[in-house]
A and B are shown apart, each in its own frame.
Chain A
Amino acid sequence: MRAQTSILSALRESAFASLVAAGLAFPILALGTEMDQSNRLVLEQRWSWMLIAAGLVFVGRFLVLILAQGRVAAAPVPARIWPPFVARVLPSAGVVALFLFPLVMLFWLGPQGSLKWINNYGVQILIYVMLGWGLNIVVGLAGLLDLGYVAFYAVGAYSYALLSTQFGLSFWICLPLAGLFAAAWGAMLGFPVLRLRGDYLAIVTLAFGEIVSAVLTNWTDFSNGKAGIMSIPRVTFFGLPFTASENGFAATFGLEFQAIHRTIFLFYLILVLALITHVVTLRLRRLPVGRAWEALREDEIACRSLGINTVNTKLTAFALGAMFAGFAGSFFAVRQGFVNPDSFTFMESATILAIVVLGGMGSQLGVALAAVVMVGGTEVLRELTFLKEIFGSSFDPSLYRMLLFGLAMVLMMIWRPRGLISSREPSVFLAQRKNVSGTHVQEGHG
């Protein structure tokens, strides 16, 4: 009896869903316009398409309802803690794997075949991992929503580009300088926004990102405007250039010259930079300033009542996050050999922020995973050339990137609203380290 009524109600609900689908499909599918031979638009009626869509929705909805029956609502999944052994070994194994990655690729696919993997996947993803970790300090730990993070990336990139082309400074001098400049700009942005919270802070940081990009575009004397800065000195192996010349890297080490040497060196460089970001963040989380960041995210007023100088705390978060973006920026410049304002648009800030939010604010591993998914995913889309055979030769899967991002975001909102890894690891424990479930962790208001 009960099964019967539930099937009836499922049928009723499916019928309703198919009715909605038919209503939606009517203007989109049932009626179409087509250009005839004399270039006039003629209305084409495709009622069968509409019926097929409605039928598919009916069947799909019915199956979903029937299959969902009898299944008990899933209990909330507790914050997962890795088995102790895995938790101890996994990070170092991952780092070792990353260090071996370019060499394995080189031996497996040869210098030509491995270039794509080391450069497009390796270096590209690691840049975003580093940027994600840097922004994680500001957004994930301190809870300050920053929509203009790319500005500091730009400061770093232009610092190296200008210092090297104008003053002939080497990359190894420019790298710390770029970090310092970016940190200074971070603090400079920090001051005016100290009193702002939430949406207001987000808007001002967004504007700051736009201002930096507008200045770089329009102040031609300084930055050469849209044309950008070209022929930036490429990276050297601590002074040895990656060229075919006699005092180049390959000749010095008795190797045959290959362009991939530079790419592999760049890979190790960004890997080390990203790991520095990670280690510094991990250590800072266990230090007073890092705990103050997290406390600030949880409750700013309580922080002040405990004698924490929230001004300094916010400024250090902004400055440190900016510093890592500055390092990444100067790496970007030395890798590309060319910078122009087009690389530092709001889209970049949005991507980095999406990485932090998708990964789970505050979680280092989550951010790294999200960077792999977001950036690696884009690259994978480029690979799907077989789709051309299905959808025609003009089909370019990478154009659907944004659509898929949007879909991924919506799905995340439904299933994991607090990101891939939402639980928080405590910075100190008395008896047992228990991860804090994401439901207790605040997202910050500033």
Chain B
Amino acid sequence: MTRRWLDAPLLTIEHLTMRFGGLTAVNDVSFTVGRGDITALIGPNGAGKTTLFNCITGFYKPAQGRLALARKGGALARDVEALTQSARRHAGDLYLLERMPDFEIARDARIARTFQNIRLFSGMTVLENLIVAQHNTLMRASGLSLLGLIGWPRFRAAEEQAIDKARFWLDKIGLLDRADDPAGALPYGAQRHLEIARAMCTEPVLLCLDEPAAGLNPRESAELNDLLLSIRAELGTSILLIEHDMSVVMKISDHVIVLDYGKLIADGTPEEIRNDPRVIAAYLGVEDTEEAVQVLA
């Protein structure tokens, strides 16, 4: 088994710590996310998974730590060091996420995310949700909306393209016939899929999914697996997901990271994680090792 996360890291997280007052939610966590990998982040409730996500996507400013993302090629340690020494946020395609506000991380570093509690624009149609996601592309094409105001032809063309892209994703998640319905009227599973499609419309290099399979039935969960695998295969997007559903984790992920009480307790292939005694202990307490093995199997 190749370890892409060591050979070709996309995102390198070093000594990440996040505190809320006296509570340390993430404590000195370091790991790398491989380019083209599906990386799963698991751990018991309250382990700090969502906090870690919020640090990566800029919704929280970490207390300390470095998050370096190399958008295109592999970054040399020397470049990362040079950028860290400077006061800048990025050099070429290398970004230091802890220095960037959330929307710049989405716009420039190209990290897209979904939320544990679905956050769609429920009063807008399914299509509009996907068009809003292409805001920055359309903003450029419309001259910050000013040229669009007078019917600039380039904006028309850009909007056509945006609709085409939305159509591509709607087709992929099987919602083409519901494009003109309000997003809030979709059933739960479809909303989860739509949120992923919306995130993909921003053309991310890294897609962060916070419990995408939560609340899905087994069939929807299997569809989700297929969707994620096809996103990775067709677009080469790397995926980082928080998941409780072990069938999803073990089936599709290349790399698993386990958090417990804010600390990283294991990092390896699904096979290694399944047999890791620390993980088993973390999940069901040290005594119930047998049961934990069953859960993780």
* A is bound by B: yes
A301 to B123, CA, bound (A): 15
Nearest B residue to A313 via CB reads B135
Nearest B residue to A424 via CB reads B123
Interface residue B227 (Cβ < 8 Å from any Cβ of A): no
A298 contacts across to B, CB distance below 8 A = 120-124
- CB-based contact B180/A440 at 8 Å: no
A428 contacts across to B, CB distance below 8 A = 125, 127-128, 131, 159, 163
Say yes or no: A430-B145 contact (C-beta < 8 A), given A294-B121, A307-B136: no
- CB-based contact B179/A430 at 8 Å: yes
Interface of B is mostly: helix
Say yes or no: A441-B133 contact (C-beta < 8 A), given A304-B106, A433-B180: no
Of B82-90, B107-115, B246-254, the one touching chain A: B107-115
- CB-based contact B125/A426 at 8 Å: yes
Report B56-80 residues with CB < 8 Å from chain A CB. Answer: 57, 59
Interface residue B49 (Cβ < 8 Å from any Cβ of A): no
A295 to B138, CA, bound (A): 15
Interface residue A429 (Cβ < 8 Å from any Cβ of B): yes
- CB-based contact A288/B148 at 8 Å: yes
- CB-based contact B144/A289 at 8 Å: yes
A301 contacts across to B, CB distance below 8 A = 59, 115, 119
Interface residue B184 (Cβ < 8 Å from any Cβ of A): yes
Say yes or no: A284-B149 contact (C-beta < 8 A), given A298-B123, A436-B124, A441-B123: yes
- CB-based contact B145/A306 at 8 Å: no
A291 to B123, CA, bound (A): 12
A159 to B145, CA, bound (A): 28
A301 to B128, CA, bound (A): 17
Nearest A residue to B139 via CB reads A288
B198 contacts across to A, CB distance below 8 A = 306
Q: How many residues of B contact A (CB 8 A)?
A: 49
Say yes or no: A306-B132 contact (C-beta < 8 A), given A428-B163, A434-B181: yes
Interface residue B167 (Cβ < 8 Å from any Cβ of A): yes
Report B132-161 residues with CB < 8 Å from chain A CB. Answer: 132-133, 135-136, 138-139, 142, 144-145, 148-149, 155, 159
A288 to B158, CA, bound (A): 11
A307 to B200, CA, bound (A): 12
A440 to B145, CA, bound (A): 27
Interface residue A431 (Cβ < 8 Å from any Cβ of B): yes
A287 to B141, CA, bound (A): 10
A87 → chain B, closest Cβ, in Å? 16
Report A120-172 residues with CB < 8 Å from chain B CB. Answer: none
- CB-based contact A306/B135 at 8 Å: yes
- CB-based contact A304/B103 at 8 Å: yes
B216 → chain A, closest Cβ, in Å? 20
Say yes or no: A436-B125 contact (C-beta < 8 A), given A301-B119, A308-B103, A310-B103: yes
Say yes or no: A287-B128 contact (C-beta < 8 A), given A307-B202, A440-B184: no
Interface residue B91 (Cβ < 8 Å from any Cβ of A): no
Q: How many residues of A contact B (CB 8 A)?
A: 40
- CB-based contact B180/A294 at 8 Å: no
Interface residue B268 (Cβ < 8 Å from any Cβ of A): no
Write the A420-444 contact mask toward B (1 if CB under 8 angstroms, else 0): 0000101111111110110111100
A434 contacts across to B, CB distance below 8 A = 125, 180-181
- CB-based contact B139/A430 at 8 Å: no
Report A31-55 residues with CB < 8 Å from chain B CB. Answer: none
A140 → chain B, closest Cβ, in Å? 12
Interface residue A302 (Cβ < 8 Å from any Cβ of B): yes
A161 → chain B, closest Cβ, in Å? 30
- CB-based contact A306/B202 at 8 Å: yes
The winner among A283, A304, A441, A442 for most chain B CB atoms within 10 A is A304
A288 to B152, CA, bound (A): 13
- CB-based contact B121/A305 at 8 Å: no
- CB-based contact B179/A431 at 8 Å: yes
Interface residue A309 (Cβ < 8 Å from any Cβ of B): yes
A280 to B148, CA, bound (A): 11
Interface residue B44 (Cβ < 8 Å from any Cβ of A): no
B109 → chain A, closest Cβ, in Å? 10
Interface residue A328 (Cβ < 8 Å from any Cβ of B): no
- CB-based contact B145/A290 at 8 Å: yes
Report B205-237 residues with CB < 8 Å from chain A CB. Answer: none
Nearest A residue to B57 via CB reads A305
A303 contacts across to B, CB distance below 8 A = 103, 132
7 more A-B residue pairs beyond the given contacts A429-B179, A430-B176, with a C-beta to C-beta distance below 8 A: A288-B139, A294-B123, A295-B132, A302-B119, A428-B128, A436-B125, A437-B182
Closest 3 CB pairs of A and B: A441-B123, A307-B107, A307-B106
- The contact sample of 27 A-B pairs, CB cut-off 8 A, is A280-B149, A288-B148, A289-B139, A289-B144, A292-B132, A298-B121, A298-B122, A302-B119, A304-B59, A305-B57, A305-B112, A305-B199, A306-B112, A306-B132, A306-B135, A307-B136, A307-B202, A309-B107, A426-B124, A427-B128, A428-B127, A428-B131, A430-B163, A430-B166, A430-B179, A436-B123, A440-B185
